[in-house]
Structure 1
């Protein structure tokens, strides 16, 4: 697959350079592309999750539970940490998933004052379908990009994310 020599961001940078030759537009080259890709990726993910019958916010909770491994249960506090939302928002998400039969609330045997949110068999089935669909779609997007370029992009974005303050605990 041939790669176009220029994209919309190249035009934006060229225009800024024309009217403001004193500017180093390198940040625009990076962050404008990230923003444009993020918009496209958000749409793709919404469509992929919808095929599995999920909203993105539902996927976020179910995937955190599924990735947690046996017994596939987390406290609401742990879910908050991995989803980066308010406690009220998380409560609403959990309530919706309980109503759909995708998670259950159970007493936490390790702490009688707390509860665990556990993914159900149906929840696991649906989130597995969603991740399968998503990865097929995302693999298709990367199919025309050289593997070395994908690896370099991944490394570069990891460095940028860490530099901007994202850590593993913010998953």
Structure 2
């Protein structure tokens, strides 16, 4: 009986992952100079998220706080570029001080989310933000419009990170 129970347990354990998608570890960029990263970014595209539903003209502005954390100001317009302002203020902090590429972001206590920089332009002109679960994704740029060739290149990077490109939605900026 013991042998039979052990065999059933082994079979259940061995097959429990069948059908589950295996994802590799999400790789972040090697290093982020936070001073260069600060400033305003325009959201070019994203995986849709509930808290941005109906918003256009979305920006994220980062500045250094006195305590060393980062002040996060997200802004957008409801419905159209002439719509009502929508703003959210939060904070971010580095969780991987060796690379500065893994951060946590918090808009209200006690909840926080991963903010992993998985792509970054050499001139800090674009950034790709993700999280290990691959449920969240943002493409940020220093200007409201991105060249289509660059956007296509970034989509290739994103796909290489294991993201489903069919879920990406462009953000209206003008």
- TM-score, normalised with respect to structure 2: 0.25
Q: Which has the higher helix share?
A: 1
